[in-house]
Structure 1
Amino acid sequence: MRHSVVIAAAWMAGALISFSAMAVAVRELSADFGTFQLLAIRSFIGLLVISAILTRVGWTQVSVRNIKTHFARNLVHFGGQFGWFYAIALIPLAAVFAIEFTVPLWTMIFAVLLLNERISATRLLAIALGITGVVVILRPGWSVVHPAAFVMLSGAFAYGLSHTLTKKLAEQDTPLCILFYMMLIQLPLGLVPAVFNWVTPAAAQWPWLIVVGITGLSAHYCMVRALSLADASVVVPLDFLRLPLIALVGYALYSERVDEFLVLGAGLIMAGNLINLLWEQKRNQSLQLVQQVNTNSDTRPSRRWTFR
């Protein structure tokens, strides 16, 4: 068990490095390229990689039975991607990642609305902490808030809806199928508006563009591998290390400082996520116990009591 946790931690280190590298690459490219062009190039590179993998493992994984849901999922996911890429160029990296951590809370809300999942007092507390954390970070009315922060918040909201639809798709489609349609559908969504302000990349910029295209896939792949080796209660807290890591990156590369409001707000958001995670883990353990009791009851031989 301990060996699996160590390997899961190694995979999560890969995810943390991938997310941070993608943020730096986007920041480095944002001065020369528009957000739509970066998203289009990212989708194109990702599509090439996924197509190569499918050619090796088999295209039979790609199904059209849920194509309408794939389109809906990728429309809102593209909005989330746009918010993330746009905000990376304009506000501190740590602020972008802190607001991004509200995604599980929005996902929870959409799961209640769309998947008829039960809302509990614990979930309400988690949502309240997350929303309070966002208010602390943005501090509306206390200072001039950069519009990019609200764009990122809208992106997190879109990510939440996207994750809910992904959960629905995952019941029937494989991860490779979901990723293939993600790249295929989002490519024209970025390419069509990008052609009006297209900038031909220079040779020196292609390494950064390749980083953007590869790290989006590698980050999620590493996280999936980590979750397959350890419980979410182990993996998710490790994911929270993204925030201090990107804060250090932002300070080292761009002299970005983290104030007390960002630390407090991020703490409230992560506390809400942890509370919801622990509640889900406890609920799943209770359900497994009930199922085990029911299974034992069904398989236990019946006794016939006789009186002599």
Structure 2
Amino acid sequence: MDVKKALKYMFFSTLGFACMNATVKYLKDVNSYQIVFFRSLGSLFFTFGFLLKNKIPIIGKHNTLLIARSVVGASSMLLFFMSVKYLSIGTAVSLRYTAPIFAAIMAVFLLRERVKPLQWLFFVVSFIGVIVLKGLDKHINSYGLILVLIAAVLSGLVYIIISKIGKREHPAVIVNYFMVTATVLGGVLSIGNWVTPKASEWPFLFSLGVFGYIGQIYMTKAFQAASTNIVAPLKYIEVVFTAAIGVMVFQEIYTIWNLLGIALIIGGLVLNVWYKSKYIK
């Protein structure tokens, strides 16, 4: 176990995802369908290359589950990108991270998993954070809030489907299915809603896939370098990086209620990761 390496990898991973989030915010005049298309198309270059280089079969063995994961994941991505147009990027990312809560609730009914009482307490803390954000901060856009929470629910369902797939498929195959589906979905939906990007926006569109891939690959390396209980809480640094970029680049303002709500959401989730890794085997 190499903790220093894991910290370094998660730094680059969270920075990569934060840059992708900021790029989506910058492209506010570009249709969300196009953003999904370019983000996915950019990553396909890397996933296809990896599969071909390592001679891994592109077509998986459990196509129904792979397609289901891809459709649900692509829908979640689209709704999240749409929500960023209505919310500050730090708030949107924080709310998207409620996905593990919805995953745990669905796992109780779909996978017959048990959730410990203390875990429910941590989830309640996170939900209180959501209530603080919406109930005490009148600047939160209701439409954006609904979009990102639905995205989080769908993301939670993705966790369930991946759990069903287990280790029967190579991770790169799962990601590749996701990127292919998202590219097709974004491309088809863009046909009747195309907004021609400005010359200055094209480089940012093409950078989406690069940032997404950097975030994904370094996160994978981090989990390989150290144990989950050390690495998993570090992914929430993405919220800090994203919010900082929002303040510096987009002049976003975070009220005391914003910060309290975000702290409660992330705090509850970090405590849950810590508890699961330490006491649940």
TM-score (norm 2): 0.93
SS at match of 2:201: helix
* 1:100-179 alignment, distance < 5 Å: 100-139=96-135, 143=138, 145-146=140-141, 147-179=143-175
Report if aligned partners of 1:50, 1:179 keep a CA contact under 8 Å in 2: yes
SS at match of 2:195: coil
Report if aligned partners of 2:229, 2:278 keep a CA contact under 8 Å in 1: no
Deviation (angstroms), 1:135: 0.9
Do residues 54 (structure 1) and 44 (structure 2) align? no
Amino acid at match of 2:34: Q
TM-score (norm 1): 0.85
Report if aligned partners of 2:69, 2:162 keep a CA contact under 8 Å in 1: yes
Amino acid at match of 1:208: F
Do residues 78 (structure 1) and 74 (structure 2) align? yes
Amino acid at match of 1:220: Q
Partners of 1:119 and 1:198 lie apart in 2 by 45
| Structure 2 equivalent of residue 305 of structure 1 | none
Percentage of identical aligned residues: 25
* 1:281-292 alignment, distance < 5 Å: 281-284=277-280, 287=281
SS at match of 1:129: helix
Greater radius of gyration (CA): 1
Partners of 2:267 and 2:18 lie apart in 1 by 22
Report if aligned partners of 1:250, 1:256 keep a CA contact under 8 Å in 2: yes
Report if aligned partners of 1:37, 1:190 keep a CA contact under 8 Å in 2: yes
Deviation (angstroms), 1:145: 4.1
Partners of 1:93 and 1:40 lie apart in 2 by 20
Report if aligned partners of 2:37, 2:182 keep a CA contact under 8 Å in 1: yes
Within the candidate set 205, 217, 220, 1:224 is matched to 220
| Structure 2 equivalent of residue 300 of structure 1 | none
Deviation (angstroms), 1:202: 4.9
Change (3 A) 1:271 1:202: closer
1:223-251 superposed Cα distances (whole Å, 9 cap, x missing partner): 11111111222222322222222222111
| Structure 1 equivalent of residue 35 of structure 2 | 38
SS at match of 1:197: coil
Greater relative CO, 1 or 2 (CA 8 Å, sep 6+): 2
The Cα RMSD (Å) is 1.8
Do residues 187 (structure 1) and 183 (structure 2) align? yes
| Structure 1 equivalent of residue 274 of structure 2 | 278
| Structure 1 equivalent of residue 13 of structure 2 | 15
Partners of 2:123 and 2:170 lie apart in 1 by 30
Partners of 2:10 and 2:199 lie apart in 1 by 32
Does 158-167 or 199-208 show the bigger shift? 199-208
| Structure 2 equivalent of residue 295 of structure 1 | none
Do residues 197 (structure 1) and 215 (structure 2) align? no
Unaligned runs of 5+ in 2: none
Change (3 A) 1:204 1:274: closer
1:253-298 superposed Cα distances (whole Å, 9 cap, x missing partner): 11111111122212222222123222212334xx5xxxxxxxxxxx
Report if aligned partners of 1:40, 1:191 keep a CA contact under 8 Å in 2: yes
Partners of 1:129 and 1:21 lie apart in 2 by 28
| Structure 2 equivalent of residue 292 of structure 1 | none
Alignment length (residue pairs): 280
Amino acid at match of 1:264: L
| Structure 2 equivalent of residue 238 of structure 1 | 234
Deviation (angstroms), 1:137: 0.9
| Structure 1 equivalent of residue 4 of structure 2 | 6
SS at match of 1:228: helix
Amino acid at match of 1:143: K
Partners of 2:275 and 2:5 lie apart in 1 by 25
Report if aligned partners of 1:21, 1:211 keep a CA contact under 8 Å in 2: no
Amino acid at match of 2:47: I
Change (3 A) 1:267 1:202: closer
Deviation (angstroms), 1:168: 2.1
Does 241-250 or 10-19 show the bigger shift? 241-250
SS at match of 1:209: helix
